[in-house]
Amino acid sequence: MSSLDVYIQNLHDHQCIFQIPKNEVREIEHFVIHIVKRFIPTTIKALNPNFTVLEVVNAGSYFEHTKVKNPDEFDFMVVVRELSTPVSVHIQKGCMAGYANVKLRQRGRWHSSGMEYTPEKEFEISILSFNAFLRQAVSLVPVQKGRYGTLIYQDVAVRGKPYSVFSHVQTANFIWKRKICKTGEEMLYQRSDTTNTNNENLKICVDMMTCCHLPVDIFSEILPISSLSNPSLIKHGCHIVLKPCNTPSCNDKETPCRLISYTKSEVEKMANLDENWKVIYKCTKLLFSYVEYSGIDSYKLKSTILHLSARQGHIELGRGLILVLKSLQISSSKGMLGCYFNSTLNIWSISLSYRYFTKWQILLLFKIFRVFEKIPAGEGQHLLLSQMIDQWIGCT
Ligand SMILES: [Zn+2]
């Protein structure tokens, strides 16, 4: 075991764990699931019988078991049944790999303005129209009173997260009012020191991205053969979200292509990831969250981790971290990182970033950790180095 292995394990055990008790986390999850999977679909149906929620798909780090610090962010994909059949939408190859041109077949079904729109625009209107009912349903969510606290609705917003181009994410904001934490309460992970979050209220945001779902064989002319024959994609299909291609030619014609999402397969893959790779993922996410303008978002990290874990299998923590940084260094300088479930989609193209900053930040981290790795565990030298890094990331 190297010093770096010890350091990463400590960083994880002290910084990446939930800071509130296990039963309370379960209660928050229970309320959020109830709201998103029962209350909202029923309410949308009551508000407009033309819309049906086919499925609410768990997405994001909470459901991948890779959320760090607190369960304060939940992500879901809301699948609209009326848009999830080849009868309602027609898809073709988009202008870029990983994107599809999506046409609504039933023109004028979701608006009564009498205006003429392109079939591509009609698809967008149908989702925006659904989103208006989604926001209305969210605003009607009643207070959820539990044993450990009370969940109270605050407001709902259309938010660009993690980038402004994702402007079709509906974010419902809640406040979790905690009851005073009793001593001796069972913790999800035991912390050695006391935290200052014990009696504070917790802000909880629930992100919902509206989409349609289609089986993978519908994408036969759009996705590469490796995707079409992927067992997980065959089982779960793909989703199409509103994220546009934003190329000048498509924008001019008002026919933006839409991003194909592999969320269900990704969440399943991440939740079943080797435990060491999960620790490495959480720690790198934490490290990069302290680096400003790095452009390393969790999707780039996640994709890197998925590729490496498939190639390497179980690995020591320090070695895994070095491989992640090395791999990011290469992909950021090439500007090319393939999506795990679609090798033709370049992830650097869906979220542009300050590539030069990124390259040097990674290089610096990489060199520091390479030095760290060479020091045997237990030697005094590594304490100094870990203190240095802790101060840098603001842990102490
Ligand atoms: Zn396009």
pLDDT in tens, 75-112: 999 999 999 999 999 999 999 999 999 999 987 677 77
CB 239 within 8 A of CB 260: yes
Residue 257 alpha carbon to ligand 1 centre in Å:
4
Q: What is the pLDDT of residues 150-184, one digit of tens each?
A: 999 999 988 754 444 446 789 999 999 998 655 55
Mark the ranges of the chain whose per-residue pLDDT is less than 70. 108, 160-167, 180-199, 290-296, 350-362, 378-379, 391-396
pLDDT value at position 371? 78
Distance of alpha carbon 215 from alpha carbon 89, whole angstroms: 13
Phi, psi of 160 (to 5 degrees): -90, 95
Query: What spacing in Å lies between the alpha carbon of 220 and ligand 1's midpoint?
Result: 18
Label residue 369 exposed, middle or buried (CB < 10 Å: 0-12, 13-18, 19+): buried
CA of 285 to the centre of ligand 1 (A): 31
CA-based torsion, 208, 337, 297, 69: positive or negative: positive
Spatial separation of the C-alpha atoms in residues 192 and 74, rounded to whole Å: 27
In whole angstroms, what is the distance from residue 23 CA to residue 231 CA? 35
The ranges assigned to domains in the chain are: 3-12+267-392, 19-262
Q: Separation of 92 CA from ligand 1 center, angstroms?
A: 11
- Distance in Å, CA 88 to ligand 1 centroid: 20
CATH of 19-262, one of 1.20.140.10, 1.10.730.10, 3.30.460.90, 1.10.510.10: 3.30.460.90
Give 75's Cβ-side CA count (13 Å radius).
17
| Cα-to-centroid distance, 256 and ligand 1 (Å) | 5
Chain centroid, CA 154 distance in Å: 22
The rounded Å distance from CA 255 to ligand 1 centre is 7
Question: Is residue 19 within 8 Å of residue 70, measured between CB atoms?
Answer: yes
Instruction: Calculate how far, in angstroms, residue 91's C-alpha sits from the geometric centre of ligand 1.
Output: 12
Render 329-371 in DSSP notation, one character per residue.
HHHHHHT--EETTEEEEEHHHHS---HHHHHHHHHHHHHHHHH
- Give dist(CA 41, CA 78) in Å, integer: 9
Residue 29, exposed/middle/buried by CB under 10 A (0-12, 13-18, 19+)? middle
Q: pLDDT at position 109, please?
A: 73
Distance 99 CA to ligand 1 centre (A): 7
Report the b/e string of 227-264 with b at 16+ CB within 10 A. Answer: beebebbeebbbbbbbbbbeeeebeeeebbbbbbbbbb
For residues 75 and 59, is the Cβ–Cβ distance under 8 A?
A: yes
pLDDT at residue 193 in the model: 43
The verdict on ipTM greater than 0.90 is: yes
For 306, the 3-state DSSP assignment is helix
How many angstroms is it from 253 CA to the middle of ligand 1?
Answer: 10
Q: What is the pLDDT of residue 182?
A: 54
User: For the chain, what percentages of helix, strand and coil (3-state, to nearest 5) are there?
Assistant: 45, 20, 35
Instruction: Tell me the residues surrounding ligand 1 (ion) with CB < 5 Å.
Output: 95, 245, 247, 250, 257
Q: Which two tokens stand for residue 277?
A: 């790779």
Nearest to 224 by CA among 359, 85, 93: 93
Residue 52's pLDDT is what?
96
> Ligand 1 centroid to 121 CA: how many Å?
13
Q: What's the CATH code, domain 3-12+267-392? A: 1.10.1410.40
Rg of the chain over all Cα atoms, to the nearest angstrom:
22
Ligand 1 centroid to Cα of residue 252, in Å, is: 10
Ligand 1 centroid vs 104 CA: distance in angstroms? 16
Query: Do the Cβ atoms of 95 and 250 come closer than 8 Å?
Result: yes
